[in-house]
Structure 1
Amino acid sequence: MNLSKLGIKRPVTILMAVLIVILIGSISFSRLPIDLYPDFEFPVVLVSTSYNGAGPHEVESMVTRNLESALSTVDGLESISSTSRYGHSEIILMFDWGVDMDFAALETREMVDLVSEQLPNDVGKPIVLQLNPNMMPIIQFGMSGDLTLTEMTEIAETNVLNQLERIEGVANVDIGGGYERQIEILVDPYKVNSYGLSYEQIMEVISASNLDVSGGEIIDGERRYGIRTLGEFQSIEEIEELIIGSNQGGPIKLKEVGRVNDINQEIQPLSRLNGEPTVSISVQKESDANTVAVSQAVIKEIQSIEETLSNVTFEVAMDQSEIVQDTIDSIVEMAIIGAILAMIILYLFLGNFKATIIVGLSIPISVIATFILVYFRGDSLNLLTLGGLALGIGMMVDSAIVILENIFRKRELGAEPVEGAEEGAKEVTGAIIAATLTTVAAFLPVVFVEGIAGLLFAPLSWTVTFSLIGSLVVAITVIPVLTVKLVPKGTNILKEKAKIPKMVDGLLNKLIAFYEKVLKNGLKRRFIVMLTLVGIIVLTVLLSPLVGFDFLPAMDTGEIVIQVELPKGSPISNTADLVFDIEDRISEVPEINNVFSQIGSGGNEEEATLNLKLVPEREREKDAFVVANEIREMMPNLPGVDFLVVEQDMAGTATALGDDIEIAIRGNSLETLEVLSEEIADIVRSVEGTTEVSTSFDEPRYEIQIELDRDRAQTFGVTPYHIGSFISLMTDTQLISFYREDGEEYNIRYGFDGKENLSIDTIQTMLMRTPTGDLVPIEELATLTIAQAPEQISRENQMRTGFVNANVSGRDLSSVMVDVEELMSDFDLPDNYFIDYAGLYEEMNYAFTELIFALGLGIILVYMVMAAQFESLLYPFIIMFTLPLTLIGVILSLLLTNTTLSIIAFVGIITLAGIVVNNGIVMVDYINLLYHQKGFSRNEAIIEAGKTRLRPILMTTLTTVLGMFPMALGIGEGAEVRAPMAIVTIGGLITSTILTLILVPVIYSLLDDLRLFISKKYNKIKTS
């Protein structure tokens, strides 16, 4: 069916179809969610289990090994790793990308339930969590005001929390910092012993005395009465007056052996905003929610709360939606600028405003049509889908340019408007369909790429495909109609041009004349041309090792994170003092807008995290990476203290995939693994560009080991459990009940008075009441010694493993790893010990392997599309010679712009595979028309086709290049991610276009000679 002819005969139908597309597209656009990256889930499940009081060895043997053995049979599991530390087991299951994570998490829970019965009785119930980027808060506030921290905490928990959790799209709200009320009962161990009481007895009495007990119901007369025994504490004084035992002197009250404190306990982690204590509020969104919409709704609700609570103010510490919105706005701006530049090129070549508008209309119509398909595919407007649109802005007019130029050429030759539109469109429709399908064919394999590369780029691939198909349909149907309706009979657009376009036309005519001479000389010296191009390609390949490789380009999100870790066992007061010092040191950095600190993060008193929010990128001279390096230099040099300064990753990919470099050493002996890890860490430190090198064997934790004298203990009926429970009470308070007041519930914690003054000597001399009723000092039952113990025991695929981790700064990841592997090649490992490389380096290699597969498959599909178009295997083979020419531009563009080859840049190479053949298709198609149908000789056909098609080839190339040029400049939020794709595409397109104009005619003539030679030989054999 000739769609162009149909459209010309039914212009109103075409107009209505366009209006319907614009209407539906506008509605689709308004309902598309906005995010930074495409929504995807990491294939990771975490199984977390508590085992209070157990050391790493006990946790490993009693919990981790049992769970690992069962979980290793889960379907789709790629690897299993675990960490056993004090009182806690953490197992991470890494599944293959593409696995249904809901089903994987369900199967994991089922396996955990099966093995839970085999675990010790005092092991907590394992918690199974499915990890994904949405677990990170999208917005954090600091709360301040005239109230005390206690009052603000209460307001946050009773008022703010409920209101924010009601917002659509909000998954969870966490309150941190501040204080919460609790009742603390501290007993004096000496008084307890003097009264002949036991600590367990007191604890049991308190718990049993604070209960309301239901006693069923009775019927008295005609009424039914429920029975409830009221026993809950009504006041602190009632707790103090509680009788906990008796002796010859009479009843013993709780206040006689201890004290009851109504205190405000600091909530960990402790929160600070810009150097002042604050109550922090962190909001997480649901997995399918719109980041920008949720964040805006939360901010609106917070503003409403501020108006209601006049004595409380909120300050935003972190807001993901800002970078998301700025990035999206920047992409839209770049796309609009690219479209304007493409329109300017069109005007300069066409020389007529109407003609420019006719072609330019294909851009907005194609974009709006793309929004419809993106909406129904369930994608979002993000860095990559909009980047795909921006990438395709220049390509969207290619089909329209070829058709318009051919229509007006027909009219210049004397055709009527309708006849010129029908014949001009029909003549090149086959060529532009083939050209569009080759681009689509190059992108299509990206949909089948596995791993994070596939999850990131599949939406981009679909977006480009939708936009190009839309532009093709517009070119075939709308453009011919508009030429008939908007350009009346007698108008000669190719001659009636404005002054500047006429000057461009003059230059173009000179360029065509020059090209004709070059082409004639090239056809006379075909082998010299071939050898020259081969030499250029070989030289370019020799330069390729200078191009570095990276996983993803670093993106300036305007946020920096400082992670601090003090020696194991350091009290939170020491951590707080160090954080105060760091806050003072960085306070003079002008690029920092605010500092949000959390002390005791991760539940560890020796750890802290400082989130630095920088001023907007447009308002600072330095990027986040330079600021981060300056901050690294500011960190104090303290023994045993580790600092990690990283630029925040919005998508959470770095966190999930590990550090840049991760070397795993597997074996059995922890001591040997520690030695090997330290030796390998020293090797990694010696490589230029490595930073923050660490091992999984951090500074060991010192512990007091209590070795029971079993014979002596058994005479008193004492077991390790008795001593362990007794020591636990001495060192920390335990939650034993709840105190209710005014509808609120507060913890009642029970422990020893004076625990802050405990020492080894006091523990040894502490009297313990045994099951036999005797009071015996600990030293009579056990020996106390100080010893080193591993902080944690790591395992991977059920083998003990040591890790060496490092990040890369100032160099590309690939070149650093080449140096590391070269040094490691001489490293001798003991028998039965193995080394593996993991982290981002491993993921990068996997991603590149998948993308190379997609590129190879794309090239095959491109060839097949062209073979179907030309009904020949020869002519597509001629055109495929343009692909090696793109390598020249790719490598040179990367070297000139000092850009590494990342997976983003590789998508630009895949793009080139589809678009660089378009010029060859247009040229070969016209050569065949003149050579095989119009009676031209071969060389005449080649020269005439080259001269005729030079104009549309230059127009399509320049519009595509200038359409991508704003992206390539690397200006605006998120530019670091989208620029490499545009740089590679522009570089490859420019060189391939220039060289294709020479190479394709030469290759055509050479292979045609070969065809004629084979045909002649065949005919001679046939006739003989």
Structure 2
Amino acid sequence: MKFVEYSVKNPVVVFVGVIFLLLFGYLAIIQMPYSLTPNISRPTVSVTTTWAGATPYEIEKEIVQRQEKFLKNLPSLITMTSNSREGSASVNLEFEIGTDMKKALLDVSSKLSEVRGYPANIDNPVIRSTGETISPVVYLFVKSNTKQSVKEFYTFIYEDIVKFYERIDGVGVVDILGGVSKQVQVILNTKQLAYYNITIEDVITALQNHNINVSAGSLDYGQRAYRVRTIGLYENAESVYNTIVKTSNTQVVYLRDIASVIDTYELPTAPNMHNNDETISLQIRPTAHANVLELINQVRILTNELNEKQLKQHNLHIDWGRDSAGFIQDAIRLVKHDIILGILLAALILYAFLRSFSSVFVVSIIIPISILSSFILLHAMDRSLNVILLAGVSFAISMIIDSSIVVVENIHRHHGMGKRMFESCIDGTKEVLGALFASTITTVAIFIPIIGLKDEIGQLFSDIALASSSALLISLAICLIVIPSLYYSLAKLFAKNTNITRDSSNKSLQFFTKILFINKFQPHFSFLQKKIIFYLRRFKYTIDRTFVKIGIFFYDILAKFLTFCLQSFWTRIGCVGIFGILSIWFIFLLFPKLDYLPKGSQNFLIAYIQAPNGLSYEERLDIVRRIYAYNAPYMQSNGFQGNEQYPAIRDFYISAGTTSIYFYEISSDPTRIKDLISLMQESIDSVPNISGNVVEQGIFSSSGISESVDVNIVGFDIDSILKSANSFMELATTYLPGVRIRAFPSLDLNNREINLFPDMRSLAINGLNVKSFGNIVDVIIGGKKVGDFRNQEGKIIDLVLQSDNTTQSPEDVLYSQIYAPSGQIMPLSSLANIRQDMGLSQIRHFEQDRNILFYINPQSSMSLQEVIETINNKIIPEMKRQNTLQDNKVMMSGNANKLHKLATHLSGGFLLALIITYLLLTALYSNFFYPIIIIFTVPFALTGGFMGLAFVNRFIAHQNLDVLTMLGFIILVGSVVNNAILIVYQSLINLREYKMNVYDSVYNATTSRIRPIYMGMFTSILALAPLIFSSGAGSEIYRGLGAVIAGGILVSTIISVFVIPSLLIFALKPPHNKVV
């Protein structure tokens, strides 16, 4: 206790300590990295394998199934999914939170090294510490400054530009979309092949045997060692042209004798357009633990450098498309503004109760000291400055104010008892030290189960818990050391040995007028200054009298009702029973459905288009042109400034790949982004034979956490899965009206295929086998890549072998002429049976089983729990009744699974918080019954929390009971018990030290604490009000949480001042008797 007296006697030491805290707190806050939310993504590893020209079925069988067989046993693996598409395979591995990524990457690499039986011509698997589920955080667009098509610069961009972005810390992968790579095409002449008796296999073997360097080791000679190599790699098209294909006796057949060689580009496959220009898109996906804001800043700096150097030399430039930095900065700026506004509103309430500028100043100055000091600890714990952390700081403000008020009010009460200010500051602080310690420890302790939570939500909760706990622990020390010292110093400054409340305000008025009238002008304005002081005093007197009358009026009402509640055994029973029953009834009445994360959106809309499978490049290009033409009149780049119907489109991008078509739009007015949804949907509907959904980019999308419910239709037979999936889609549309449903892959089995079934006898007679026949077909249809080489500029050039028999239609395949080793030229139809079938463009696996995935995005008014219950209770039973489910299974993943686990964890966390609070209070009071009385306030807080949530839903914005909002109820356990602690603590002091009887002890403790209790309640609510009522970027994250805490504090405060004293009278006995 001596530290309180020391602080009062040595204000200079305390002042210097405060300066140190403010200085180091400021340094900490400017050094912390910025981000929208804490890192809340799971460790993810992706494995990508390329096999040029292979169909999805071949990819699935030869690559994916082999890799999954070994990867399924990885330690800490949570989920394994894969996607087999034409030419490539991707396997996505999601690990438990806390998994060491370096070890996980090594484990994946080790398992892949065990895979055997790959086809000979596949590329090595590429392992990355990111996955397809993590959304790009930056979109960049390469454009040409000349008439030369930007598509032709793909190789330059891929080899000379992308590498710089991949080196930036935090970049997981850089996707490059659009463009065509350089090729050297060898066009075979079928007649010349027959003339020289050369087969396609001979040509392939000759090209591959020539295009190689062979090392022969080293040769030691004298003092030197010489490396010996045989050089054969091609350097240009001419060296390819001079390849020797066959020799017989004296005849040498060169490639130029049987083929022509063309230095050209591959055929385009994916049209891309940004605003009005053709483009190559670079999409940057972060790693799971990236500092997104710093990553974006580094990308911006690098982009500017590349535009000034490498790209400028090639008449190219990169346009900055979309990034999330602006939204992050706006969200952090908004919550900072809300915190400052909350402090100012709380200060107004403090003045209304205290009517003393100095007292308000003391309490108000404690808030920034505590908050800035807390950032010292947060920076030491390597936290980022994000919206969640700042929300935790803002929630701590109300608790900091409560502690400050208790100390200031008690000092003022002791001074009103006739003590000197020095004694009042020491005695008043010491008297509430135990209560403050108990309330702070119980509040901090309830965060223990929160910090222990795993999953993404545990990462979110930990920032709130650490921010609030740091601020509260530091504020406890500051309240006990700084407040008495500062209060005593102000008392000496403003009014020696007089009433600080009365005279300090007059001194403050004089101080402000001295600021307004500079000393050298003061003689000329002394009269005006006196008048201003007079009217200010009069105004203050009127305001003070009004506040006093209001305060007395409500105090009398509360005191009379308290007297009524405590007057007899039955009134006390009635008070406890009625309020208890009403609270339980309201809890059941208002309990809403559960949701996962807050539904919020950024200034970013993305439309996913479902087009028929197997569309040609020209058809996809036509879709791009139609959608662009529909949106072009509304683009800001075309002069549109917005109107009442639509805001201007600031940024537009569309991509039409072979497996997916999508486009995005960004509004010039972020507050009107939702107005563009109808425009985007209309542009999709304007194109025949396609459909699509427009999805708002969620707040947590950059972390790979979507707002959708993921439903997997799992089975083995693709036809059966498609039948079940179509049934699910139809029923989901019926039972979940208004939801946006997207299937992946498409439900249309209309990807046209031409399957050749070789006649083994015919092949054998003509000197062929299945492999050589397949190579011939590959060459004839689209060209076969037989290798690559680096040209003289160092660029990788693909070497592609093609036939002069161009195929324009499926019928052309039937009559394509080939030269067989038997020496005959014959049509393909004589060697194989040809059949046209339908197939899938992609094959997806969920935990090794084939599946179709549905992304279900509910409306903002529909909770995740409602969607899950509808699927489980209506859709699946109806599918079973109609026998459309067959042998397949419906499995939920993603948020659906997480919600059930999290609800269980939070329920356990809530009970654990109650137990921790009870045990701490038991230890502090050395009594098992008093803590039960204190915890009796929790049901009233729950009622108030649900009322606050209902209020927000009714008057502000739709707010589901998401997991962040649920956290508010856990925080309430530690917050609302503080008022009960004050009443119990003071009652015990009255009973033991002042020798009052039980009734007087309880009544006096309650009435003497009504003012600080209600002061704390109003300041807490007004400090939280800006968080509840704000509607800017990221406000959805903390609005529900703030509403629950504010509502819980309001209702529990009003009720507890009546219920707690009623219970306390039953428990207290005079000191010579034992407590019940």
Q: Which residue of 1 aligns with 2:916?
A: 861
Is the deviation greater in 556-565 or in 198-207?
198-207
Matched, 1:593 2:649: yes
Query: Is the 1:347–1:501 Cα contact (8 Å) retained in structure 2?
Result: no
Aligned residues: 1006
Q: Which residue of 2 aligns with 1:720?
A: 770
When residues 1014 and 97 of structure 1 are mapped into structure 2, their CA distance, relative to the original with a 3 A threshold, is farther
Instruction: Note the C-alpha offset of 1:461.
Output: 0.8
The correspondence of residues 77-96 of structure 1 with structure 2, limited to 5 A, is 77-86=77-86, 88-96=88-96
Q: Secondary structure at the match of 1:475?
A: helix
Query: Is the 2:322–2:651 Cα contact (8 Å) retained in structure 1?
Result: no
Taking the aligned partners of 1:749 and 1:1014, their CA distance within structure 2 comes to 99
Alignment match of 1:871 (pick from 912, 926, 944): 926
Taking the aligned partners of 1:187 and 1:727, their CA distance within structure 2 comes to 13
Q: Which residue of 1 aligns with 2:27?
A: 27
The correspondence of residues 829-848 of structure 1 with structure 2, limited to 5 A, is 833-848=888-903
Matched, 1:4 2:4: yes
Q: Which residue of 1 aligns with 2:321?
A: 317
Q: Secondary structure at the match of 1:394?
A: helix
Taking the aligned partners of 1:997 and 1:223, their CA distance within structure 2 comes to 96
Taking the aligned partners of 2:38 and 2:132, their CA distance within structure 1 comes to 11
When residues 566 and 254 of structure 1 are mapped into structure 2, their CA distance, relative to the original with a 3 A threshold, is farther
* Deviation digits for residues 811-837 of structure 1 (CA, Å, limit 9, x no counterpart): 222223323322133542678654333
Aligned AA for 1:380?
S
* Deviation digits for residues 961-987 of structure 1 (CA, Å, limit 9, x no counterpart): 111111111322111112111111111
Aligned AA for 1:514?
I
Q: Secondary structure at the match of 2:598?
A: coil
Aligned AA for 1:928?
L
Alignment match of 1:358 (pick from 352, 359, 362): 362
Taking the aligned partners of 1:221 and 1:363, their CA distance within structure 2 comes to 81
Instruction: Note the C-alpha offset of 1:194.
Output: 4.3
Q: Which residue of 1 aligns with 2:941?
A: 886
Is the deviation greater in 581-590 or in 362-371?
581-590
Taking the aligned partners of 1:330 and 1:276, their CA distance within structure 2 comes to 35
Matched, 1:423 2:427: yes
Alignment match of 2:1055 (pick from 981, 995, 1008): 995
Q: Secondary structure at the match of 1:393?
A: helix
Instruction: Note the C-alpha offset of 1:285.
Output: 5.2
Alignment match of 2:560 (pick from 517, 537, 553): 517
- The unaligned stretches of length 5 or more in structure 1 are 1019-1024
Query: Is the 2:40–2:457 Cα contact (8 Å) retained in structure 1?
Result: no
Alignment match of 1:479 (pick from 477, 483, 503): 483
Is the deviation greater in 420-429 or in 240-249?
240-249
Matched, 1:583 2:643: no
Query: Is the 1:412–1:494 Cα contact (8 Å) retained in structure 2?
Result: no
Query: Is the 1:733–1:749 Cα contact (8 Å) retained in structure 2?
Result: no
Give the aligned CA root-mean-square deviation in angstroms. Answer: 3.4
The correspondence of residues 290-369 of structure 1 with structure 2, limited to 5 A, is 290-306=291-307, 309=312, 313-369=317-373
Q: Secondary structure at the match of 2:97?
A: coil
Taking the aligned partners of 1:965 and 1:870, their CA distance within structure 2 comes to 34
Query: Is the 2:403–2:476 Cα contact (8 Å) retained in structure 1?
Result: yes
Matched, 1:896 2:951: yes
Matched, 1:397 2:414: no
The correspondence of residues 4-403 of structure 1 with structure 2, limited to 5 A, is 4-50=4-50, 55-86=55-86, 88-114=88-114, 116-121=115-120, 124-131=123-130, 136-144=135-143, 146-147=145-146, 148-150=148-150, 156=157, 161=162, 175-178=176-179, 180-209=181-210, 236=237, 239-240=240-241, 244-245=245-246, 254-255=255-256, 257-265=258-266, 269-284=270-285, 290-306=291-307, 309=312, 313-403=317-407
Matched, 1:945 2:1005: yes
Query: Is the 1:146–1:312 Cα contact (8 Å) retained in structure 2?
Result: yes
Is the deviation greater in 422-431 or in 699-708?
699-708
- The unaligned stretches of length 5 or more in structure 2 are 506-539, 635-645, 954-958
Instruction: Note the C-alpha offset of 1:357.
Output: 1.7
Taking the aligned partners of 1:7 and 1:848, their CA distance within structure 2 comes to 47
Q: Secondary structure at the match of 1:78?
A: strand
Q: Which residue of 1 aligns with 2:452?
A: 448
Taking the aligned partners of 1:575 and 1:356, their CA distance within structure 2 comes to 67
Instruction: Note the C-alpha offset of 1:713.
Output: 2.2
Taking the aligned partners of 1:837 and 1:118, their CA distance within structure 2 comes to 33
Q: Secondary structure at the match of 1:787?
A: strand
Taking the aligned partners of 2:1002 and 2:306, their CA distance within structure 1 comes to 75
Query: Is the 1:392–1:467 Cα contact (8 Å) retained in structure 2?
Result: yes
* Deviation digits for residues 306-354 of structure 1 (CA, Å, limit 9, x no counterpart): 4554965543211221111111111111111111212222222222222
Taking the aligned partners of 1:431 and 1:539, their CA distance within structure 2 comes to 32
Q: Which residue of 1 aligns with 2:743?
A: 694
Query: Is the 2:42–2:96 Cα contact (8 Å) retained in structure 1?
Result: no
Q: Which residue of 2 aligns with 1:815?
A: 866
Over the matched positions of the two proteins, sequence identity in percent amounts to: 23
Matched, 1:704 2:766: no
Taking the aligned partners of 1:1013 and 1:698, their CA distance within structure 2 comes to 81
Alignment match of 1:825 (pick from 877, 886, 889): 877
Taking the aligned partners of 2:619 and 2:383, their CA distance within structure 1 comes to 48
Query: Is the 1:707–1:782 Cα contact (8 Å) retained in structure 2?
Result: yes
Q: Which residue of 2 aligns with 1:1022?
A: none
Aligned AA for 1:492?
N
Q: Secondary structure at the match of 1:707?
A: strand
* Deviation digits for residues 154-181 of structure 1 (CA, Å, limit 9, x no counterpart): 7756775566566666666555444554
Query: Is the 1:927–1:941 Cα contact (8 Å) retained in structure 2?
Result: yes
Alignment match of 2:575 (pick from 525, 529, 546): 529
Is the deviation greater in 863-872 or in 425-434?
863-872
When residues 877 and 320 of structure 1 are mapped into structure 2, their CA distance, relative to the original with a 3 A threshold, is same
Taking the aligned partners of 1:177 and 1:676, their CA distance within structure 2 comes to 35
Taking the aligned partners of 2:791 and 2:80, their CA distance within structure 1 comes to 47
Instruction: Note the C-alpha offset of 1:955.
Output: 1.6
Aligned AA for 1:433?
F
Q: Secondary structure at the match of 2:836?
A: strand
Query: Is the 1:571–1:606 Cα contact (8 Å) retained in structure 2?
Result: no
Taking the aligned partners of 2:172 and 2:47, their CA distance within structure 1 comes to 21
Q: Secondary structure at the match of 1:686?
A: helix
Q: Which residue of 2 aligns with 1:910?
A: 970
Q: Which residue of 1 aligns with 2:589?
A: 543
Instruction: Note the C-alpha offset of 1:208.
Output: 4.8
Aligned AA for 1:570?
L
Is the deviation greater in 583-592 or in 146-155?
146-155
The correspondence of residues 579-978 of structure 1 with structure 2, limited to 5 A, is 579-588=624-633, 590-601=646-657, 605-617=658-670, 620=671, 622=672, 624-636=673-685, 641-649=690-698, 651-652=700-701, 655=704, 660-687=708-735, 688-694=737-743, 696=745, 698-700=747-749, 701-738=751-788, 740-753=790-803, 757-809=807-859, 810-823=861-874, 824-828=876-880, 833-898=888-953, 899-978=959-1038
Is the deviation greater in 29-38 or in 709-718?
709-718
Instruction: Note the C-alpha offset of 1:41.
Output: 4.0
* Deviation digits for residues 406-439 of structure 1 (CA, Å, limit 9, x no counterpart): 1121112121222111100000011011111121
Taking the aligned partners of 2:217 and 2:126, their CA distance within structure 1 comes to 36
Query: Is the 1:338–1:394 Cα contact (8 Å) retained in structure 2?
Result: no
Query: Is the 2:992–2:1071 Cα contact (8 Å) retained in structure 1?
Result: no
Taking the aligned partners of 2:166 and 2:579, their CA distance within structure 1 comes to 65
Instruction: Note the C-alpha offset of 1:20.
Output: 2.2
Q: Secondary structure at the match of 2:75?
A: coil
Taking the aligned partners of 1:179 and 1:750, their CA distance within structure 2 comes to 14
Is the deviation greater in 233-242 or in 629-638?
233-242
Is the deviation greater in 767-776 or in 362-371?
767-776
Taking the aligned partners of 1:54 and 1:523, their CA distance within structure 2 comes to 84
Query: Is the 1:680–1:804 Cα contact (8 Å) retained in structure 2?
Result: no
Taking the aligned partners of 1:231 and 1:60, their CA distance within structure 2 comes to 35
When residues 482 and 936 of structure 1 are mapped into structure 2, their CA distance, relative to the original with a 3 A threshold, is same
Taking the aligned partners of 1:476 and 1:221, their CA distance within structure 2 comes to 85
Query: Is the 2:182–2:798 Cα contact (8 Å) retained in structure 1?
Result: no
Taking the aligned partners of 2:165 and 2:75, their CA distance within structure 1 comes to 38
